[in-house]
Each structure stands twice: as structure tokens, then as C-alpha cells.
Amino acid sequence: MQNNRKNDGCFCCVRVCLCADGNECTKASAQSCGECIQAGEKCGWCIDKDFLKQGEQKSTRCDEIEALIKKGCSEASIENPRGTVSVNKNQSLTDRTKDGVKLKPDQITQIQPQKLTLNLRSGEAQTFNLIFKRAEDYPIDLYYLMDLSYSMKDDLENVKNLGTDLMAEMQKITSDFRIGFGSFVEKTVMPYISTTPAKLLNPCTSDQNCTSPFSYKNVLSLTSQGSQFNNLVSKQQISGNLDSPEGGFDAIMQVAVCPNQIGWRNVTRLLVFSTDAGFHFAGDGKLGGIVLPNDGKCHLQDNMYTMSHYYDYPSIAHLVQKLSENNIQTIFAVTEEFQPVYQELKNLIPKSAVGTLSSDSGNVIKLIIDAYNSLSSEIILENSRLPEGVSISYISHCKNGVSDKGENGRKCSNISIGDQVMFEVAIMAKGCPSNGKSETIKIKPQGFTEEVEIVLNFICECACHKEGIPNSPVCHFGNGTLECGACRCNEGRIGRVCECSKDEVRTDDLDANCRMDNGTDICNNNGDCVCGACECKKRDNPEERYSGKFCECDNFNCDRSNNKLCGGHGRCECRKCICEANYTGSACDCSLDTSTCLASNKQICNGRGTCECGTCKCTDLKFQGPTCEICPTCPGVCTEHKDCVQCQAFGTGEKKDTCKEQCNKFILVKKKKKEELPQPNDQPYINHCKERDANDCWFFFTYATKNDSTVEVHVAEELECPSGPDIIPIVAGVVAGIVLIGLALLLIWKLLMIIHDRREFAKFEKEKMNARWDAGENPIYKSAVTTVVNPKYEGK
């Protein structure tokens, strides 16, 4: 019993329902080729003007490519634009020295390619590879930013000779090294410093000579003269402030956004931030009445930050943005007490490092060298802001075959000078970002000035869109544009050919044209009446669809066999199965192939039936089975031909007198022994027989039907006859058996007697123990003694 209920793309049989979900192409209900290709990368649009069947919606043109081909649209008529990647600039990677000549910093190439153009189709990722190689002898600019509050007094003494010493160490890494120096204290307002006139001149105690407090001062712009660094730094004096946190964030912001004053080049930029205290950040300025957010602009006049009293401290996020924009890598050289604080800050600032500064800054050079090696050995890619609807992913291919993806796909570690790594970048768009306008994004390694420019072009329309015919007469007297095989209606018009105005979509007169045979159901409840014509509903299963003038046809309500539509051997058209060759029947379940009816003798149904739908119908009632070869009531082949074989081979048996007349239906071949008879694999259809003759001897033969229907019998001349009995062993066995039985009976009798005697003895012993004897006297007994009493005796 089946319940062929079909609803919402489901087929239900007994208690099992099979449902198919629609694909993204059909769900989009696209009304144009452009809308279709934006639905997904697998979607195509059929431009064949005769593709739609009666009653089908315009959106039926949009489907997956294979589905469109199955529906009858040729590949040449399917619009399916694909995205592309083209490389516009692809300079080779270089080192600092080329052909013996040192290149300028802007001539060094460490990343390849440098510019690409991507044409993006919605849902289709475009992939390209970026190669990065660390150049040898790459220039370095290092700016030393130092806290000059009073607690850093002993540190200043050690830093005074930093220029020449650090220059000597960095010469081992690069021949092009520049160094600069800046200092900071705090905002020059209460409560960060004391604003009394005396404290403004000397914020330290009276016995100490300190300079006036300041926010940030650029002492020395970047220079290659280490001695000049030593001279200027040695002239610096300690200052002072009131609170423990310092105004270092103000100084970092100015160092980042004032490239001209600092002297930054487009090379590796290092900022060493040295302090023994914490930091103020956005919001802390309110304590001094400063509420304006930091504007992230340069405010240096005469190398002094002049707006510390006007703008608040920058936030951490603001600092991250400016440091990244200006490709500055930060090294925090802090005392052990504040190591945890700056370690957390380092986790928020990309391409930054933290080193532990000794109490007098004696280890600052080793700290800088170690931090630089750590920063330069890790490559992290970052990209600019992506347009809405665009996504990017990375897969890294680092040293020693190590690969990773996700966030770790952006970076490679343990990179030495001269090492080359590769990143696989995939960019994908969804829909039509930026309304189809081109966008440009950039990818660069953090801390490097080199970047890759990527121009994004979005494929939002099909190629046939340009060939559209505005106000085409095909579109109901020019009410639309004939585009990609379909009408794109003008504003206010609807219908397959824009034949209706939105104001007249539903009227009784128009609805009457959508009723079949003047019935009550509009479009047989399988569609909507639009402009007096039925537009059939879509099914969730893209393989299923309604069609016909009144949506009266479908391709999924045909008869089924083995739970398959049209038995899997035909197609359903308007609720009728159109069967493939060699199949017939209402459900295409009747096969015209007779190979399944061939019996072992190559006859159809063994000559005892007819082949119907690939199955034998036996006409001889005695026979049954798939090929009418089984006959339970028939004698076997061996028994049936026993007498004929016996008379022809041995001249015996019941038919020995009539052998020639009755036993001439087969060819007899004699063999010496049964081992020489044909084996099952020698011939395809063979029976092995073993029969007994009148003398109780066994004879062996085979019975086989050849392809030409002749029968061949092979007989073994050697019989197997039973041998006579051996009397002596039999008599000896009988005698021995009798003796053994007698001995066994004697042993059993003896055993029974022993058991009986033991039981009787035990019974006697028990009665003996339980016996009781009376102590009474014999009444006839008289004693031999007579006692006489003297009557005179008085007992004295």
C-alpha cells in the first residue's frame, strides 16, 4: 500500500518521506541574468528564447548548469561568466646589492607580485600566491623614546653612550642604520605635575637640578651619526611629575604621525620605548579637564608637542592604527616590575616586542638586538579594510613544509635573511559589492613599507546584458528591454513579456483565463494568475516543476516502481511516463529484454513458458523457478537415463533388449575410471550421476547438453562393487562378544551380591544395638536354700 503524497518537494511512501531542498539558484527567483549570477557560483542563465514551457516563470531560466542542460538548454545558450586573476606588476625579488651596486631602499623588492586585478563572480573565490623574501642588508631606522621622569636618572647616564655602541652592533646586521632620540614626561597640567612657579622651573627637590616638565620632545631626528646622538643625549636633564603613570602614549602618537620631523624613511622602522612606569590612556585626561579625543595628527613645534593640554591621551586602538599605518615596529624596554603590564599591551599591538630593562638600562643594546631579531623573524600579512560583501582568507606555506590556515595562515615564523615563504590568498565576493564599482585593497607584511595593490572588479551582469534591446516590441509593445532571452520590464510593468500593469494584476476577467474548463481552481492551485496567464509555482526540489497553460502538468506525479519515478527507466511528462527503449508499462517497469529468461540450455524459459517483462511465466504447471527449470515431481536426470546408460555401456538392465530403439537420444563416450569423467568446469551444463545395478554395484556417468542441443553421456567402465564378508573376524568377534558379555554379567551379579550382603549386615548391626532384655524371674524356679526363723528369738 502506497500513499503517493507529493508536497513541498517531498515523496512519502508508507511512513518514509524523502525531501529535497531547493538550490540557491532557484531560491533566488532571479528575474534577470544579472540577478541569477549573483545568487551563487553554480548558477547559470538560459538565454534560449524558446526555453520556457507554457506556464513556467521567468526565473526558471536560472538554475545550476547541469539542471539547465537536463531541461533542454544547450551549453552554448547558458550564460555563466567566470572570475579571473591578472597580474599587472610582477618585479622579481631582490637583495640590497644587485650586480655589485647597492640599491636604494625604494628599489629593493621583498614581496611579489606587486599589483593584481581580480574579476570576482559572486560566490567564486579567486586565488593567487604572494611570495616574500627577507632581503639581506635591509636599511633600519631606530628611534629611542625615553622616559625622563626622575626615576630614570641612572638610566639616562647609560643611554648617553648608546649611539656609538648601538651603531657598532647594528653594523653587523645592516650597513645602513640611522638612530634618533626623543624624550617624554607628562602632560603639563594638574594633577599630573605641580603648576606652582617654582615646580614648573624645577619639579625636583631643591638639591636636584631638573629641567622643566614637558610632554614630548624630539631631541634628535634620525641620523647616521652615532657621535651626534651621544652629544645631544648627554646634554639631557631629568625632569619630574606627580603621578606614577607617564604620558608615553602622547609621545608614541607624535613619533608615529610626524614622519617628516622624525625623519622616517621607507625602510624598517623601529621604535624603542624605554620606561620604568605605567601609562595613561584615553579617558585619563579628564582628571586634568581635558575631554577632546586625541586627533591623531602631528602637533610638533620646535620639536615640542604643544597640544598635550588640549587633547586627551590616545587609546590603545588608536595607537595600533597609527603604528600600523606608518609601519612602525615597537620594542618596549621596561623594568621587571611592569613586565606583565606591557606584555598585555604587546598582545594588542601587532609587530611589537617586550624586553626586560635592568634597573640602570645597562642591557639596553642586547635587549634591542634580541627584540629586533624576534620581530624580523616573523612575517604577518595584513590587509586594508574590505568592501562590504568581500571576504579574504590566507594559507601559509612556511619553512620546512609547514602550512597553516585561518588566522595562523597570515604568518610565518623563524624566517632568516634570504628565506623565501609563500602565502596562498583567496578573495571572494557575495552578491554585487559597492554596486558594481571597482574597489582597491592592499596587502602588506606588518612592519614593512612594501605592499601589494589589488584592484577588485565585480561581475554583476552577464555579457548579454550589453546586447539588450530597450523598448523591444517583443516585450509587449516596448514595455521592457529584451535582454538575455527574456524581457526586463520597465517600472510598473510585470509579466513574462511585460504585458500587464501592476494596477491590473488581479481582476475577475483576467482570473477567468486561468481556470481550466471553467473550473473554480485558479491554475489548478499550482500557480498564480498573472495578467490572465498562469505562472506555475516553483518546487523546493529543483528537479520537480509544474507546467502547462493551467499548470495542470508536472514531472513528478507519474507511476512509480521500486520507489522510483517511472521505475528509473523513463521520464515523467505531464503525469505520464515516457519509457526508454526496451521498457514499457505505465511505470516503465516492464523490461523487453529476454536475457533474464534464458535457461541453462539457452532456451527461453526452458521451452516451458513465456517471457513477460523479463520474468518467466511457466505454461507447464509441473515446472517452476525463474527460468522454468525446477520440477519437484519429475524424476531426476540420473534416474531418468539410468537404464539407457546401463544397457548401452554394459549390456545389462531393464532395457537391454530394446536398447537400440529406446536409447538412441544421446552420444555415449566410455572412460576407464570415474576420475576420467568430465569435471563441472569442463562443460557449462553437466550432471554427475551415481546409480546401482542389479548386482548392487555402483556405476558412474555424466549427462551434459551441448549448445547445439545434443546430449553427451560419459560412462566409467570400472564398477564399484561391494566385497563379501570375512567370516573369521566375524566369528571371532561374536565369540569375544559373548565372553565379554558373560564376564560383564558375572561382574554385575557379584557386585549386586556384595551390595546386598553389606546392606543385610548393616541391618543386623542396627537391630543388635536397638535390642532391650526383661529382668523378670522364671515362675517355676525354686531356690535350693530354705530359711527357718526361730520363733523364740527376740533379736537380742
Q: In Å, what is the CA distance from 122 to each residue of 26, 262, 432? A: 16, 46, 7
> From CA 770, how far away is CA 733, in angstroms rounded?
55
CB 352 within 8 A of CB 332: yes
Q: Which amino acid is at 220?
A: L
pLDDT at residue 745, as a whole number: 93
Q: Where are the alpha helices (DSSP H) in 258-395?
A: 259-262, 316-325, 339-348, 364-376
Cα angle 339-341-346, degrees, rounded to a multiple of 5? 90
Tens digits of residue pLDDT in 495-553: 778 888 777 655 666 677 788 877 778 888 888 887 777 878 878 777 788 888 888 88
Give dist(CA 490, CA 477) in Å, integer. 12
Say if residues 217 and 177 touch (Cβ distance below 8 Å): no
- The Cα–Cα gap between 162 and 152 comes to 15
- All residue ranges of the chain with pLDDT < 50 are 1-21
Task: Please tell me the predicted confidence (pLDDT) of residue 459.
Answer: 93
The answer to whether the beta carbons of residues 464 and 32 sit under 8 Å apart is no
- pLDDT at residue number 70: 87
CA atoms within 13 A on the CB side of 26: 21
**Pick from 349, 426, 421, 442: nearest CA to 127:** 426
3-state SS, residue 727: helix
- pLDDT for the residue numbered 15: 33
- DSSP code of 624? B
* Tens of pLDDT, residues 120-131: 999 999 999 999
Distances, alpha carbon 649 to alpha carbons 577, 666, 669, in Å: 61, 12, 9
Residue 154, SS3 per DSSP: helix
Paired sense of beta strands 527-530 and 500-501, if any = unpaired
**415/135 Cα distance (integer angstroms):** 11
Confidence at residue 318, expressed as pLDDT on a 0 to 100 scale: 95
Q: Cell 536354700 sits at which residue?
A: 785
- Do the beta carbons of residue 575 and residue 560 sit within 8 Å? no
The whole-number pLDDT of residue 449 equals 84
Indicate the angle between helix axes 316-325 and 248-257, nearest 10 degrees.
30
CB atoms within 10 A of CB 746: 10
